[in-house]
Amino acid sequence: MSLRMTDTFIKPMHPEGIRFVAIFGAITLGLWLVSDFLALIGLGLTVWCYYFFRDPERVPPARDGLVISPADGIVSIIEPAVPPAELGMDATPRTRVSIFMSVFNCHVNRVPVAGEVTAIAYHPGKFFNASLDKASAENERNSLRVRMDCGRELAVVQIAGLVARRIVCFIEEGARMSAGERFGLIRFGSRLDVYLPEGTEPLVSVGQTMVAGETVLAELPAVPQPEPQPETGTDPAGVPGAQA
């Protein structure tokens, strides 16, 4: 088997998944003592668990000014919404792009833009199906506020789903992050919301497939440059507008 084929089927696993794969493997061994058929089912679930925690390398686009998808999955909702109150951002509605992750997607989450994480806020809640609109407000969530070097801000929110019972965040407030850098994961099936900076339009559509760290969600509008001020003429003595 070539190296390319190996890279296609064998992905590195995030350390968060080691104990879960070990548990599934131990159960499979126990089932093998009872029934070969049950052992095969256990083996299949163990392989699924390994792939759930897969953590492949991703290559973000090199161009500046892009907002990158923080998660693998499907765009489920695009609508104006106010970021979570616990982040302390203004109450002006922003475009929110929601990405639903099934239990078959890679669940490692990545920062959409380069910048400083100025706030991280955990909010306990319920466990509705993550594809529902009310999940953004009522489900358990972990929110990040990211300030870019240009001064614009963005929010990205990890939301627990119907099956997910554990949100994991790897970073702390004040961290400087690069676009596409890993910041957390969610177990098992969930959703991420991205609240785009004001005036930023998404470049994706509902139903589109996202690849974390690679798919472009939006492009930031150019920052307006101040108009040059007209120069005031002076004579050699420094008197404005004087005639020679």
**Helical spans, DSSP H, in the chain:** 3-9, 18-34, 36-52, 135-138
Cis-peptide, bond into residue 9, ω within 30° of zero: no
For residue 121, the 8-state DSSP code is: E
> Which of these is catalytic: 2, 69, 190, 205?
190
Active site residue 143: no
Phi, psi of 118 (to 5 degrees): -90, -15
Contact residues for 22 (Cβ-Cβ < 8 A; gap 6+): none
Distances (CA, A) of 53 to 41, 50, 103, 177, 212: 19, 6, 10, 22, 14
Query: Which active-site residues does the annotation give?
Result: 190
